[in-house]
Amino acid sequence: MKVGDIVHGYELLQKIDRGGSDREFFRCTKDNTLFVMVFDSEIKRYICLQQHLAAKRIAVPEVFWYDLKERIMVQEDLGSHSLYETKWQNHDLHKVYKQVIDELIRLQIDGRPGVPIEYRYDADHIRWEQEYFRDHFLRQFCGIPTEHLKDTEVDLQNLGCRLLQAAQPIDDHLMHRDFQSQNLFYKENRIRIIDFQSARIGPLTYDLAALLRDPYVNIKGETEDELFEYYHTNIQKRGITIDRADLREVYQLSALQRGMQALGAFANLSLNKNKKGFLQFIPRGIHLLKQGLKETCYKALHATISSINI
């Protein structure tokens, strides 16, 4: 498909670059109204989740038409500016990110009952994320030989085990799994959530860490702390009883795991999929991971990350 084609009565106007996605997106028009047409090899999974979340009044784009056989759908056009592309003033950032957290809590709690997925964020998936980080970032991007990573492997295993153990009180909620600024839009004074098709059941804190330690946006430490407190207060209002210190521990562990996954993705996309734009986010990703490891018992992993100079 290309710009200028007419597909089921919709004229394709502009191809939209959606970062790391393998799907194709086109802004299109029909009857003088703008839409977004998506070509998606896993469209059935997306549609099932979209219908579920829309029925729960979660802020996802409206889907107007789809064809499962052709793997095409037409959905609401949310505009061109994600939270990443919008330059917020500090006051506005606090206000908007609290709205984001409100929507995140609705997604995690209200979206959980009856969700049409079985995948869980379990030991196998944690290990997959860690191997993804090791293979693409540490080995391929940084050029660290396998024999130099043996002590790091022990730390990774221990981190994964501790994360699963500490997260048990809050591990049965809906996870977006990529809840960061490029997947969040602001339309008609409401946050809108995209790219939720990889959702799993798992701990609350992974998405919160993806949001507040986002390599795409420089959220300062005091702002992160304030928004963490806001999140804790509001999940308590929804009946989730977890001590602040316990939630903080799971959050810190989730942030380490998420940070590694993000660095693996940036390396893979830039080196293997010719998406060089992701290189610019690696230095901040390293900084966030290094800071997160500083006060932990994962000394070998911290030493490895600290030795990387990008």
- The string of DSSP letters for 145-175 reads -GGGGHHHHHHHHHHHHHHHHHTGGG-SEEE
- pLDDT at position 7: 93
Task: Please give the model's pTM, rounded to 2 decimal places.
Answer: 0.95
The continuous run of DSSP H or E covering 25 comes out as: strand 24-30
Please state, in angstroms and rounded to a whole number, the distance separating the CA atoms of residues 258 and 251.
10
173 within 8 A of 109, measured Cβ to Cβ:
yes
Please state, in angstroms and rounded to a whole number, the distance separating the CA atoms of residues 230 and 276.
36
Mean pLDDT in residue range 198-222: 96
CATH number of 6-76: 3.30.200.20
Q: Are strands 184-187 and 10-16 parallel, antiparallel or unpaired?
A: unpaired
Please state, in angstroms and rounded to a whole number, the distance separating the CA atoms of residues 109 and 240.
10
> What is the residue extent of each domain of the chain?
6-76, 90-306
Residue 64's pLDDT band (cuts 50, 70, 90): very high
Please state, in angstroms and rounded to a whole number, the distance separating the CA atoms of residues 288 and 310.
13
The 8-class DSSP code of residue 61 comes to P
Class of domain 90-306: alpha beta
- pLDDT of 88 above 70: no
pLDDT in tens, 145-201: 999 999 999 999 999 999 999 999 999 999 999 999 999 998 888 899 999 999 999
61 within 8 A of 235, measured Cβ to Cβ:
no
The continuous run of DSSP H or E covering 204 comes out as: none
